[in-house]
Structures are given as C-alpha cells and as structure tokens.
C-alpha cells in the first residue's frame, strides 16, 4: 500500500509504519524505528528523524567545506557569517533560507575572490547583470544581503569600507496593490474549474486570515482544532490569531488535504515554495487577471479591509503578527485572541 503523502524513509508493512534508516544513516547514529499504526504520528516522527539526519549531513558537509575554503575569500566569509549568532542564527528559518538563496548568486561570482580585492565597480557590474538577467527587485534582494555580508567583514576588522553600500535603485514607497472581491472570486472559480482547488483554498485562507504564504503552505490539518487558527509565524516566530470565516471552513471541508491543508493535486504532497508560485501564476493567467496581483497582496488586502472597517492597530496586528509601532497604543492595547476575533467581526460587518 502506498502512502498518500511521500515521506523519505517511511515505509508501511502490513498495518505498521516503519522508518527505514540506510546503512550510512545507521553509521551516523540514526536508527530504524517501528512507528506504530497511527499514520499521522508516524509521519511526524519520520519527519523528525529526517530533520535529524539532514542536520548531521549538513554538519558533515560544513566541516568538509570549511577545510576547502581559502581564508580571506568571500566563500570563507559566508561560512563565518552563517555561524554568527548576532545576525544569521538569530533569524527565523525562513529568513535564513532567503539569505542562503541570495548567497547562492554571490558564491559563483565572488566565492574565491579575496574580500579586500572587491571594488565598487565589481559590485555595480554584479548588480547590473542580476537586474538584466532577473529583475530589479531580485537584484536588490541579493544586493541587500551582499551589503550585509560586507558589513560583517567591517565588523570583523577585515575591511574598512563597504564597496556595495548604497548601490541599486532608490527605495520605492512599497507596494499598495490590493485585490478586489471580484478578482478573488475569479481566481477561486478558475482554480476549481482547472482542477486546482488547492490554489483556490490557499487564496481563500490568505484573504481570510492575512497570513504569509509559507505559513499557509505549512498549515497542517491538525493545526485547525477550532475556528480560530493560532499561527506561530515562520518568518518572525511571533504568534498571531486568525479567525476562520464560514466560507473558509466550508472550503476546508471540501478541499483540504489529508496531512497538510494545502496539498499539490499532482504529487499528492505538500507544495514546495517555487512549485506553488509557478502554479499560482498559471492559474492567475488562466483567470486573465493582472500580473500585478501577487499572492502576498492578499495579506495586504485583508489588513486594509480591517482598517477600513474600523479595526484598531492592536486588533489588526493580533491577526497579522506585525509589531505595534505606536507607543500610545502599546501602553494600553495588547493584541491577543479576543482582539483578533473582534477585528474579523468588524471586517465582516463592513462587507
């Protein structure tokens, strides 16, 4: 019998689930286990064992990589930076992945280059090439972490000035795009007709709860024990509360996956970030919606509707997980479960 959700090294024999460690895993201290007959518990335990194995492999690779790195190069600096507790290790796992993603563009160009040999002209050429091959936004993101990396070199006393400082395009005021109700209904209907109800459900949850894409993709069925979703946000580690609407609950009953709420209809597994984004764009085009409408804009749309409905900053931040910037509000209003429900109630009454 095959598993609905594919988990590495997880096998089923008869009515029991087993974690089958390879000979190399056993040599490194990860053993095989009988995981019992409960599928959900077996998957959670198997994922824990796989994470432990990944940590062991990562540590092993890191030790090998350190031996090969030449002292004083950008590759060597990145290795040191990723062990720094004041910036890298203090960040949420999602932010660390974003930094590593950007380093993936820096290493092929500058990995073997001595830090002191990097000049401003090299940084400008790197930025321009990225902007031309990818986009201005992509180049800005990579440059942001390249600049932070070189600031780390300054803090370490390796260089005195940062050659990448203040490069790139001028900061914009930020996006203000919001979805209309018609846009949302259109992409949901198109998703369902295209036999991609997972996209429809993800859009509905994002619009309803104002949560980030990764938190929605990581949402497990067992996380929804009531109509109030308590979210431990991956990016910040903060807790937010999202009150689920009746429409969302109905869609959950019809389209939710077995283990993860949002599951890829093709692979029958949890979506990877890139694959979800690619599928979302295909559905958006099929719905003939503007390319300026992004999935992340659903979060802004929800927060905007709450504000327009008269929700306080405390109520809105209880849902979105943002910090309260107003000192006056911080003194007498603390966001929590009650505030999250109140914000959603005000928003519903206004629509």
Work out the pLDDT band at 307, boundaries 50, 70, 90: confident
Sequence spans of domains, the chain:
10-65, 69-155, 181-350
Judge contact between 215 and 270, C-beta under 8 A. no
Q: Which long-range contacts (CB under 8 A, 24 or more apart) does 165-170 make?
A: 167/120, 167/123, 167/124, 167/127, 167/143, 168/127, 168/136, 168/139, 168/140, 168/143, 169/136, 169/140
Report pLDDT for 326: 46
pLDDT score of 65 more than 70: no
Neighbours of 332 (CB within 10 A): 7
Q: Which residues of 24-63 are buried (b: 16+ CB within 10 A; e: fewer)?
A: ebeeeebeebebeeebeebbbbbeebbeebeeeeeeeeee
Helical H segments across the chain, by residue range: 23-27, 39-68, 74-81, 93-110, 120-133, 136-155, 181-193, 197-209, 213-217, 246-255, 273-286, 297-308, 313-320, 327-332, 337-350
Report pLDDT for 338: 63
Judge contact between 112 and 149, C-beta under 8 A. no
Higher pLDDT, 284 or 71: 284
* Burial class, 78, CB count within 10 angstroms (exposed 0-12 / middle 13-18 / buried 19+): buried
- Please tell me the distance from the alpha carbon of residue 22 to that of residue 3, in angstroms, as a whole number: 19
Work out the pLDDT band at 102, boundaries 50, 70, 90: very high
Assign 219 to helix, strand or coil: coil
pLDDT score of 153 more than 80: yes
Q: Averaged over 57-84, what is the pLDDT?
A: 77
What H or E segment, with its residue span, contains residue 174? none
- Please tell me the distance from the alpha carbon of residue 10 to that of residue 17, in angstroms, as a whole number: 7
Higher pLDDT, 56 or 286: 286
For the four alpha carbons of 174, 102, 7 and 38, in that order, the dihedral sign comes to negative
Task: Of 118, 44, 45, 46, give the one whose Cα is nearest residue 75.
Answer: 118
Which class is 181-350 in CATH?
mainly alpha
Q: Averaged over 259-278, what is the pLDDT?
A: 90
Q: What's the chain's length in residues?
A: 351
Work out the pLDDT band at 3, boundaries 50, 70, 90: very low
Q: Locate tokens 């993603």: which residue?
A: 101
Strand partners, 17: 12, 36
Q: Averaged over 53-75, what is the pLDDT?
A: 71
Report pLDDT for 330: 43
- Please tell me the distance from the alpha carbon of residue 146 to that of residue 74, in angstroms, as a whole number: 10
Structure token digits, residue 280: 């979302």
Judge contact between 107 and 73, C-beta under 8 A. no
- Please tell me the distance from the alpha carbon of residue 328 to that of residue 300, in angstroms, as a whole number: 24
With a CB cutoff of 8 Å and minimum separation 6, the contacts of 183 are 289, 293
Judge contact between 328 and 314, C-beta under 8 A. no
Work out the pLDDT band at 2, boundaries 50, 70, 90: very low
pLDDT in tens, 309-345: 878 888 888 888 877 664 443 433 445 666 677 777 7
The domain made up of 69-155 is a member of CATH 3.30.70.870: no
Q: Averaged over 121-142, what is the pLDDT?
A: 91
């Amino acid at each position: 019998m095959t598993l609905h959700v594919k988990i590495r090294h997880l096998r089923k024999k008869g009515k029991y689930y087993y974690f089958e460690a390879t000979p190399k895993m056993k040599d490194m201290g990860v053993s095989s286990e009988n995981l019992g007959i409960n599928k959900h518990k077996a998957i959670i335990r198997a994922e824990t064992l796989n994470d432990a194995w990944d940590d062991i492999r990562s540590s092993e690779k890191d030790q090998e990589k350190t031996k090969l790195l030449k002292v004083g190069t950008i590759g060597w600096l990145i290795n040191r930076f990723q062990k720094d507790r004041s910036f890298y290790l203090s960040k949420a796992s999602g932010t660390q992945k974003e930094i590593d993603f950007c380093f993936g563009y820096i290493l092929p160009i500058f990995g073997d280059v001595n830090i002191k040999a990097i000049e401003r002209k090299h940084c400008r050429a790197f930025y321009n090439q990225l902007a031309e091959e990818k986009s201005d936004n992509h180049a800005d993101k990579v440059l942001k972490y390249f600049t932070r990396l070189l600031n780390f070199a300054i803090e370490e006393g390796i260089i005195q000035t940062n050659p990448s400082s203040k490069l790139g395009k001028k900061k914009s005021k930020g996006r203000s795009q919001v979805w209309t109700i018609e846009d949302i209904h259109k992409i949901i209907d198109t998703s369902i007709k295209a036999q991609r109800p997972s996209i429809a459900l993800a859009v509905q949850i994002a619009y309803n709860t104002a949560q980030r894409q990764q938190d929605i993709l990581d949402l497990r069925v067992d996380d929804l024990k009531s109509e109030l979703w308590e979210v431990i946000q991956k990016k910040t580690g903060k807790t937010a509360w999202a009150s689920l609407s009746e429409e969302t609950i109905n869609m959950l009953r019809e389209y939710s996956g077995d283990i993860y709420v949002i599951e890829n209809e093709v692979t029958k597994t949890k979506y990877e970030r890139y694959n979800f984004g690619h599928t979302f764009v295909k559905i958006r085009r099929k719905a003939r919606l503007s390319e300026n409408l992004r999935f992340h804009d659903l979060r802004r749309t929800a927060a905007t509707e709450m504000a327009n409905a008269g929700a306080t900053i405390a109520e809105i931040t209880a849902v979105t997980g943002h910090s309260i910037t107003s000192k006056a509000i911080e003194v007498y209003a603390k966001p929590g479960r009650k505030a999250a429900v109140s914000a959603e109630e005000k928003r519903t009454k206004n629509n």
